[in-house]
């Protein structure tokens, strides 16, 4: 309409022929749960200390005509049993230190024979304690893996931008119209007023009705 002015008109409504696809990707992580139970049993076996009495045999040669001293257990001892003569010689057998019991009397009846009598019943004064202990140790380990589900969504968006023409027009002609990135001009350079026109079309890949400027 005016020399050295901008051409006037309505830009075409351009629609992209390219289909915009939205891709949704979903990732799942499986859960692994491990339950480990370990039971350890330690048993201490009981031990009992038992003292057994053994019999020792005297090999001492007695005085001729006397009796042999009596054989006594390890928990007993004789007193005055050497040089005892028959028919009525006697001596004592008693419990050793650390043992208790009633002393007994042995008698010599025959020359060069063994003295006769009953051994004392000796009991140890040391107390033997038997301990039995059982220990049970249980170790429990619980391992848990948390499930994480992540959804990533990517969207492709096409935007139209407007470019401004900086081309200097022919003196007296109109400036070519500014069009969006999805449109293009046709014959819009060197158009003179008052009734010069040109066409604005949609670019390849877009559809729309061309307009006249």
pLDDT 10s digit of each residue in the chain, 213 long?
888 888 888 889 888 786 655 555 555 444 454 554 444 444 444 444 444 444 444 456 788 999 999 999 999 999 999 999 999 999 999 999 999 999 999 999 999 999 999 999 999 998 777 777 666 666 666 665 665 555 555 555 544 444 444 567 889 999 999 999 999 999 998 899 999 999 999 999 999 999 999
3-state secondary structure of 22: strand
- Give pTM, 2 decimals: 0.34
Q: How many whole angstroms separate alpha carbon 46 and alpha carbon 44? A: 6
Tell me which residue of 177, 182, 157 sits closest to 15, measured CA to CA. 182
Residue with tokens 């968006």: 157
Q: How many whole angstroms separate alpha carbon 70 and alpha carbon 123? A: 20
CB 138 within 8 A of CB 164: no
Where residue 9 falls (left for φ over 0; alpha for ψ -120 to 50; beta otherwise) is left
């Amino acid at each position: 309409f005016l020399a050295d002015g901008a051409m006037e008109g309505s830009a075409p409504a351009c629609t992209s022929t390219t289909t915009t696809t939205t891709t949704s990707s979903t990732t799942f992580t499986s859960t692994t749960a491990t339950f480990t139970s370990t039971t350890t049993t330690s048993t201490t076996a009981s031990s009992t200390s038992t003292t057994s009495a053994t019999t020792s045999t005297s090999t001492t040669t007695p005085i001729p005509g006397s009796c042999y001293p009596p054989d006594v257990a390890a928990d007993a001892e004789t007193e005055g049993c050497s040089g005892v003569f028959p028919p009525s010689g006697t001596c004592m057998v008693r419990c050793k230190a650390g043992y208790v019991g009633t002393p007994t009397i042995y008698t010599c009846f025959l020359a060069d024979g063994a003295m006769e009598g009953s051994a004392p019943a000796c009991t140890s004064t040391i107390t033997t304690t038997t301990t039995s202990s059982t220990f049970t140790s249980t170790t429990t380990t619980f391992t848990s893996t948390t499930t994480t589900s992540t959804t990533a969504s990517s969207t492709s968006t096409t935007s139209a931008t407007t470019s401004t023409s900086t081309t200097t027009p022919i003196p007296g002609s109109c400036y070519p119209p500014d069009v969006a990135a999805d449109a293009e001009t046709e014959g819009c350079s060197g158009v003179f007023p008052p009734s010069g026109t040109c066409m604005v079309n949609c670019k390849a890949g877009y559809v729309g009705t061309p307009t006249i400027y």
